[in-house]
Amino acid sequence: MTPAMRRSINSLPVVLKPLPDELLSSWLARHAAFYEVGNRRLLGHLGLETPCLEALDYGPSLAQQIVLAGCLRCEPARIAAMSHAEACNDVRRLIRRAPPAQRCQTCTESAASYGAPILKSWVQGWRITCRACGTRLIDIASDTHTGEIAQYKDLFGTVWERACEGEAAFEQHKAGDRDVPSPAVLMRLLLLPRWPDPSELREGYRPSRLLNTVVPGFDEAVHRHGFERHMVRQPFLPILLRTALLAGLATVMRDPVRMVTDLRRQTRLGGRQRFEALESGRGRGLPFLSHIGS
């Protein structure tokens, strides 16, 4: 940073300490609350041209990082780390752009003053635990997602440890690794429709997904407890359904070539084209399967 750039930065006299795993927009919003100004006025003071604070969450430019680092007296790398800048392209669609649908009760109760914080793990569609403290995330009740699903939180309790293994696969995922499948692509694959078994048609046809083949009973739970309407919220499923999905992901990743080949046979025609695009590598997620014949 040049001396001229340093002089142009309006450093804040008081800088609030960021919480572990706090989202950049959340940290800035807490500063706005502390100084009793609106978010737009804070952005103007910082000299940033961006439509809103949340726009910075998906990768502030190097110039924006430098400006914020000067105003908030930290390193630019710290600013980038509070955003989703390092997220691979294939997982970005699993990052919620609206207010979070999940939160951590522990971190919420111990939150700092000047506004409720939002942590990065609360808006990431592959998280079922809080990255800051490890507590299980809970769903936030709203008009579109009521809290009645919480009473079934132990429905997939037997696969919780496996679900945490699936969550860890996302944390370990690196872009460009052609030897390991993209967990985001495999999650999309597991939600494709499958051909139901003849025995399942006795009570009439109902939607079925590939996930049911690796987490038996998933379809039954969805239909019996009326969770079908929650499935349309892909990829931001409630924690209960996300637990089953991540457990299925962990199972597939233990032997991806065999599992994906088996799942392909069970995919309904409506999803076969999409499945084959993923399998061939055109979906940029399963290039390690491109050598497998049809």
- The domain locations on the chain are 3-86, 147-289
**Of 263, 262, 94, 287, residue with least CA distance to 180:** 287
Model confidence over 58-90: pLDDT tens digits?
A: 989 999 999 999 999 999 999 999 999 988 888
- Number of other residues whose CB lies within 10 A of the CB of residue 68: 24
Query: Quick one: pLDDT at residue 261?
Result: 84
Model confidence over 100-135: pLDDT tens digits?
A: 989 999 998 887 667 789 999 999 999 999 999 999
Query: Quick one: pLDDT at residue 83?
Result: 95
Residue ranges of the chain whose pLDDT lies below 50: 1-7, 142-144, 282-284, 288-294
Query: Quick one: pLDDT at residue 286?
Result: 53
**Of 50, 161, 152, 54, residue with least CA distance to 100:** 54
Per-residue tokens: 17: 């300490």
Query: Quick one: pLDDT at residue 112?
Result: 65
Query: Quick one: pLDDT at residue 291?
Result: 36
Mean pLDDT of the chain: 83
Per-residue tokens: 24: 């950049």
AA letter at 27: W
In sequence order, which residues have a C-beta less than 8 Å from that of residue 12 and are 6 or more positions away? Answer: 31, 35, 71, 72, 73
Query: Quick one: pLDDT at residue 265?
Result: 86
Query: Quick one: pLDDT at residue 266?
Result: 87
Distance CA 281, CA 163 (A): 26
Q: State the pTM of this model.
A: 0.85
